[in-house]
Amino acid sequence: NAGVMQNPRHLVRRRGQEARLRCSPMKGHSHVYWYRQLPEEGLKFMVYLQKENIIDESGMPKERFSAEFPKEGPSILRIQQVVRGDSAAYFCASSPGLAGDNTQYFGPGTRLTVL
C-alpha cells in the first residue's frame, strides 16, 4: 500500500509566478489535510478537504492561496503570485476518515523556494 505521495519534492519559483503542489492520499483515504512548515517551526494547519469539498480552510491565507480535492485525481494546493514569504515546506496528510481512526499519515513534503 503506497504511502501519501507529493510532487514535486522541490519547487523553485520567481516572485509573481504560480506554484502548484500535488498530493495523492493513501489508497482508501478520503480526507486530505495541508500543513505549512516554516524553518525551525512546527507544522501549521492550512486546509482540510474531503472529495470535492472544503471542510475547514481556517488556516489558509485569504488571498492567493486555494485548494481543491476533485472527484478524480490528486489534491492541489495552488499559490498565485508567490512572494518570498511563501518559501516553506508544504506537507500533505491523509486519513481514512473512519470513526475511531483519525490518524493522519504524511507525505514527504514539497519544499517551495521563491527567488
Binding site for other proteins (CB under 8 A): 31, 33, 35, 41-45, 48, 55-56, 59, 89, 91, 93, 102-106, 108-109, 111
Q: How far is the CB of 64 from other proteins (least distance, A)?
A: 21
Q: Give me the amino acid identity at 28.
A: G
What distance in Å separates the CA atoms of residue 52 and residue 87, rounded to the nearest whole number? 27
Least CB distance from residue 36 to other proteins, whole Å?
11
Q: Closest CB to other proteins among 72 and 99?
A: 99
Q: Which is nearer to other proteins, 17 or 108 (CB)?
A: 108
Q: How far is Cα 66 from Cα 77, in angstroms, rounded to an integer? A: 6
**97 and 31 in contact (C-beta within 8 Å)?**
yes
